[in-house]
Structure 1
Amino acid sequence: MPYKLSATLKAHSSDVRAVSSPTNNTIFSASRDSTAISWQKSSSSTSFTAETVIRASSRYVNAVAHIPPTPDAPKGYIVTGGQEAIINVFSLSTPKKDPDFSLLGHTDNVCALDVTPGGTIISGSWDRTAKVWKNFNLAYELKGHEQSVWAVLAVDEDQVLTGSADKTIKLWNQHKLFATFKGHQDAVRGLALIPDLGFASCSNDSEIRVWTFGGDLIYSLSGHTSFVYSLSVLPSGSIVSGGEDRSVRVWKDGECSQVLVHPAISVWAVSSMPNGDIVSGCSDGIVRVFSEAEERWASAEELKAYDDLIASQALPAQQVGDVKKSDLPGLEALNVPGKKSGEVKMVRNGDLVEAHQWDALSSNWQKIGDVVDAVGQGRKQLYQGKEYDYVFDVDIQDGVPPLKLPYNVTENTFSAAQRFLEANDLPMSYIDQVAAFIEKNTAGVNVGSNDEYVDPFTGASRYRSSGNSVPTGSSNSSSFVDPFTGASRYIGGSSAPSAPPVDSSTYMDPFTGASRYSGAPQTTPKPPAAAWNLYKPANVNLMSHKTFEIDGRIKDEISTSSLAMYPEEISSFEDTFAYLTYATDPQNQKVNLSPPNASNVEAIIGILERWPSASLYPVLDLSRLVAVYCPGALNDPALKNRFLQALYVAADWSSSWTPPLVKSREVNLTLVLKTLANMFQEGTSVEGEWVHGILSALTQVPYESLSKTQRTCLATIFFNMSCTQLRSPFDGSQRQQFFELVLRILKAEKGDSETIYRTLFALGNTLHTMKSSGNSLEPSQNQKVVETLPFVSQTFGSETRVRDLIAEVSALL
């Protein structure tokens, strides 16, 4: 069933910045109106009433949390934080005007709160710190972020995650920094735990990322078209997110299953109830509850009124793209179904331009507003009685209403900037930034533009035309973020294969790394530069902790106790983790540790074959590191084959591949593919049956069943294979299998240019090696390549790096 409006909670007079819903009958909300409210629902009613209104601060309240009941407070405590930089704690059993406890220590706005089951409070602040409070006293301070700490999350009683405007996420064990996760391209705004998997994060970059605690990015969720402020996880495991694009989105099995449009500019906060209902807090000062259960839906009249309210909203053209009215289709275009939830279509309805959004669950288009100020409508903006071509909202500080920046295209940008600064008593030192802001924002806003507009004061608030405005390693950049680690970059040069800089008039041959491409085949091929792309980043300490924690749980359950590690296996794993702790961090002091050997691999195989698949992810992560850091342990061909077979078993290779895959299997499969990629590196020989085994196993995988991350992992396997066979060439049958699989990717991939790029590189490396040794493709294979390249060019040829690489491959045929 789709989610529909269940309840509307009205009492706040300003933005609702935070919500919490610990039970099905209780909601807590915090607002910029300086209050926090405890909402209660009786078992016989579907509506909530404001049971307790707390004047929590004299200024904006931006965060709220709940401490579970204690003997001293049978209803628990409500915890608030805000601009006063004070954390106030109120007993819900005997609410009073003054707080029961006030926690002092932060020096700036408290913007994030979380509470552990044991009552420990974690706070995040603009003062760049997070603090941990036990028994209402400061226990320790978490220092390390370079900018505001926007999100905090208790993993357990000792471990805490923090997310920051410095674009990083940090994991702390008590007061010690344990790990730093990098990958987001803007401020991290929200965090949520995903049981038995890891955690999710959301950001001003409009992306949601799902991570393991070992630092691996499992997958990303794209769909929001602006800042994503808040995350929650439903009892089903689905993710809920809310953001600046007026929407709450429900993500199931890695896809957006529903978009709940709100009649407000910002959805500041989302929370999930134990019964699966969703709570949202918005900039219109209203708390809303949405439910999948039909018996909890609002009345038909209320639902219609809500839909009409959404449809009556006026959307600025910049929110949905710069459009020309005369080019838009009429209402008949709504007879064509959308492709996915959240897809927006603009149509003409008489003299109006309407925006409609596809709802996959109800299979129809939902009107989400009238588009105003689209190109061709010739409308001016009114400000203080005068007409302007543009009136920008400029956020100079969170919690302060945006300032209006009016501008006419005939004006000098510096004159407009000076007028704006004088009118708002702002320093003239900002004039260059404001002028640049105006120039960028009036250069034309196009659907799919990669331009991003940075607020000249905060440097963070962006003015976006669409979701595609988030920079993601486009063809206009010479560096590309590795989609797996999210940290290391894939950069042109000798260190890793990449396209030449697009702004250059000449191009380095990607295979020789030296000679320039002249548009004709090389008469004397030079050896390509082999630069393996290996999956090395890891948090070994956390991996070890999780492995032994899972082993403890298995040992404590009567039904699984026989599967627990034997003493000798525990010792073997400890040795392996100890070595990898040193090997993965060059800064660690060198110690006299022997690298893992065959017996250590035997221990890993034993666990891979014995443990339940849902518990295997830290062991598979360990296997990934053993493959790359301890290749000598796999020298024995028979052991290597057994190791690979254990990996296939862990990924349920022989089971049905019909999507959606069970989440634990999806995680395991990603880690197995990374391990296979790491099997090919400097010094690897492709002789033996093990390579045939990998190629045969990959042939069994339906490409359409793989996620975006997994497809890029698959391309990386072939890329690393191609680098390895430069030193140790394929035999005929290996080469046959290799070409069939590579061509399958090139034909099937329709959306991810990074996958295409790595696969083309693998093809080019292999063709170059064959040509250098006097070999050539069979005529049928050559024809297949010739037929495939134009298709790739048609789909991805707009990217310079792909287009040039296609030309290089063609020259080698």
Structure 2
Amino acid sequence: MPYKLSATLTGHTADVRAVASPTNDLVLSASRDSTAVSWVRNTDAPGFNQSVTLRAGSRYINAVTYLPPTPDEPLGYAVTGGQDTVINVFALSANSNEPAYSLIGHTDNVCALDSAPGGLVISGSWDRTAKVWKNFKLLYDLTGHQQSVWAVLAIDSQQFLTGSADNTIKLWSQQKNIRTYPGHTQAVRGLALYTDIGFASCSNDSEIKIWTMEGDLVHTLSGHTSFVYSISVLENGDIVSGGEDRTVRIWRDGECSQTIVHPAISVWSVSTMPNGDIVTGCSDGVVRIFSHDDSRQLPGEEQKAYDDQVASQALPAQQIGDVKKSDLPGLEALSSPGNKPGEVKMIRNGDNVEAHQWDSASSSWQKIGDVVDAVGSGRKQLYEGKEYDHVFDVDVQEGMPPLKLPYNATENPYVAAQRFLDAHELPMSYLDEVVRFIEKNTGGVSLGGGPQYSDPFTGGSRYQPAQAGAAGRGQDYMDPFTGASRYRAAPTASSVTPSTSPPRPAPATSSKVIPVRTPLAFRQANVSAMQAKLHQIDQSLRNEISTSSLAMYPQERTRIDESFAFLSALVSQLAHWNNPPPGTKPPTPRHLDAISALLERWPRESLFPVMDLGRLLLAFCQNFSQDTPLKHRFFAAMMNASSWKDPWETPLSRSRETNTLFFLRALVNTFQDTLYDDEAWVKSMLQDIVQQPYSNLTKAQRVACATIMFNLSCIGLKEPLGPELAAYLYNLILNGLQEEKSDPEAAYRALVAIGNILYAAKERGQKPSAEQLTTVKQCMSSLRSTFSDDRVKNVSSEIEDLLR
């Protein structure tokens, strides 16, 4: 009997990344909406009900497994893992968002979980390790993979299998690696025990392999046309697999016996019930159950509705293969039977191209979608163990190998560009050029949406990109900070070729880094786009009766425009920000007061271009930092506008996250020269900053905080900081270093700051206490083991030398 739809479980609002079905009456699902759900079979009607929703973290939940009942917990436990790096264990009978246990130890995304009798859990992570937990405590660390561990399987309480993005599978006896299975050519994504033979594996190479435990490859099953993400084995020995080609495939005796197409881009996870039913979790946020038992299958009209939903999908040409419409046959081609289950045939139907798949169960061709052109919707690519829609080769310097630029079609190009520049220590002055490279090579098409784009922070101000080849017109782009306000970019080649080396804090002629005497500043921006966005928001406020009183007054508008004129003169005159060109009239305190007035009056979600303007002026007008009352007024307005002291509920809204970042960057820019005898205010600002836990901050916010500390340490090399401020700053940096586990750039800047402070103290004959010596040495040792970055290791060694 072929498998047909049995139940559709809706409730998640984002991709369902993992499912588990330990019994015929229980399904667990985990989603990118930051929840896990327990679904229980109805006792008096067909289908399942949402029993418990677990708020399993603040970020994506990517893995779930089940621990059976115990005397203390009659319903068993749901175990979840995700981007928060914590594994949470929930007692299902408690119906509570508070985990009964939290397993802490991974330092990156937890992407795989499995369990074994006796309360044993095994986890896999992007931190390249697997961990085995027993009775909710760490039992073994399994270290040896060179890339992310994407798949884990508990064979019993002593033996484990792990699959990795390094393309290998490893067998472990307790914590000892006793065998490695090479054979897959791309990341291993799923593992399942295979009765009487050994185990099965699936991979991004689109193949399924069956192995003996001794390492012999018994079968290779080919049929999927893209990544195979998940695999499970039915009690009768049939294999079930799901992947990026939208299908679940059922394999019997080495052949695909049935293909089930889903109305989604990805089938992320498959699981099997003891009764033989199949559970799937997909990118459309839906959990589906398919049954071979007709008593559990949905009625005919509901089956047809599902088939129609599948047939209405738009398939990108890259997912099916190259398409030349004139060479395709017409509808008459569907009169010939297919050669094997799952075979796909494309035909012309008028002006449309349709994809049909051979269904051996009904001996007919089933339409699975309309073929369209798209970018970024085809086979994903792997980079450093993680998946991206695109991985570009970027030529940075002639004669040197290209750098890899990973990019997902759903993300802001500026986020990807900044990540690329940070990773390769390239100057931020190349930001716009890298974005143009991304835009040109992706065509600006995003998954799941049309050709429109929205402001990355507010979601509004949508615009239509210019079409390629439009007469004399270039492509429109978004400013990295202000979003949808457009500027016209000059044409560029399809590669990025910076001609200068990235600046480093250390002098080029020195073999050592410490001391670093030159503070850093956040000076990059697109001034014209910032100005256009600010005026656009002002006009929107002016046009509504309820908000018209908030709009800029004439004098404010004049001062705002004069500020932009000053910054525009810098942009047009200088390739690198320096002093204003001769004849440029710098802004006065009244200009900064006009910005403060808008910060106090405008809605917070509309403030980002105003905050950005203030941040930028501080970088070039040091007189603002000298004027103590002016500075105090401005930063009080900035802190209030950023909602810094409000309750911090992660993830923050995009507008608040951005406003917070500009507030921190403004502080960086004000600490450039001296403290102007204002140490009490500096300390009060630092005390306000540490009100928010370091772990709540994003990477960019942590880098900004570290840069504040670094700049203060540079000032401390020129002028002695007061003992109270120096001690507070020292302890603040150390605390941050102890909490920083993931970002080498934030760690590096904070390390140099500690180095500067110790260097200045040594020059002045001051010695750290024995307790300080111990704390710093422990911190340096921990950082070297946490980060592989050579800069972190080298500066840690320099700091230890300063302590001698």
After TM superposition, the score normalised by the length of structure 1 is: 0.49
After TM superposition, the score normalised by the length of structure 2 is: 0.49
Taking CA–CA contacts closer than 8 Å with sequence separation of 6 or more, which of the two structures ends up with the larger relative contact order? 1
